[in-house]
């Protein structure tokens, strides 16, 4: 099943079509997908890059066919513009973002850019990994290919007690 935004404040639960991995994209099975403020904005106001219908969700923890856990760097960049070559790919003018330009993680299965997968250590508390309200995984400032580790952030008002 998947959640599909069909318009402002219009969401539907629909069956998930059988997704097949394709060149450059890996099929993942979503375990958790956090709701971030951007998702709330998309729900209420839309987004400059959002075209309906769309499966939102870009803060996810998912597993591949072998059960390896990943989070996904949600941006997909061109790799050759002045921002990309200058190490500021988060400003890429051709940025494609999971959940806006292509379907995201509010779905049992998702196709994610293979180059954007970031392995999650097996010992990590996976349910918190995809929960932006408590403990979010974020790697936006780094290219996945150079990301040495996943950085975790938590917000003091809702920091986990353990
Ligand atoms: Zn977010
Ligand atoms: Zn670029």
25 found inside a domain: no
Ligand 1 center to 86 CA (angstroms): 24
134: β partners: none
18 found inside a domain: no
Q: What is the pLDDT of residues 110-146, one digit of tens each?
A: 999 998 898 887 766 555 555 554 334 443 444 444 4
Percent of the chain with pLDDT over 90: 36
Q: What is the pLDDT of residues 145-162, one digit of tens each?
A: 444 444 444 333 333 433
Ligand number with the minimum distance to the CA of 93: 2
Ligand number with the minimum distance to the CA of 130: 1
The CB-side HSE value for 120 (13 A sphere, CA atoms) comes to 27
Ligand 2 center to 140 CA (angstroms): 14
36 found inside a domain: no
95 found inside a domain: yes
143 found inside a domain: yes
Alpha helices in 27-70 (DSSP H): 37-45
Look at 108 and 37; give whichever has higher pLDDT.
108
Please report, in angstroms and rounded to a whole number, the separation of the first and last CA atoms in the chain: 32
Q: Which domain holds residue 101?
A: 43-157
Ligand 2 center to 73 CA (angstroms): 15
2 found inside a domain: no
pTM above 0.85, yes or no: no
CATH number at residue 118: 3.90.180.10
């Amino acid at each position: 099943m998947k959640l599909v935004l069909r318009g402002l404040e219009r969401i539907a639960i629909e069956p998930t079509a059988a997704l097949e991995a394709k060149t450059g994209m890996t099929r993942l099975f979503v375990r958790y997908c956090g709701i971030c403020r951007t998702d709330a904005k998309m729900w209420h106001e839309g987004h400059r890059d959002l075209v309906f219908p769309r499966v939102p969700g870009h803060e996810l923890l998912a597993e591949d066919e072998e059960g390896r856990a990943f989070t996904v760097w949600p941006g997909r960049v061109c790799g050759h513009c002045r921002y990309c070559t200058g190490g500021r790919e988060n400003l890429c003018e051709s940025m494609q973002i999971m959940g806006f330009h292509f379907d995201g993680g509010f779905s049992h299965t998702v196709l994610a850019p293979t180059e954007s997968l970031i392995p999650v250590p097996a010992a990590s508390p996976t349910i918190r990994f995809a929960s932006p309200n408590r403990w979010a995984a974020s790697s936006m400032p780094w290219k996945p290919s150079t990301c040495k580790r996943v950085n975790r952030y938590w917000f003091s008002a809702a920091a986990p007690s353990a």
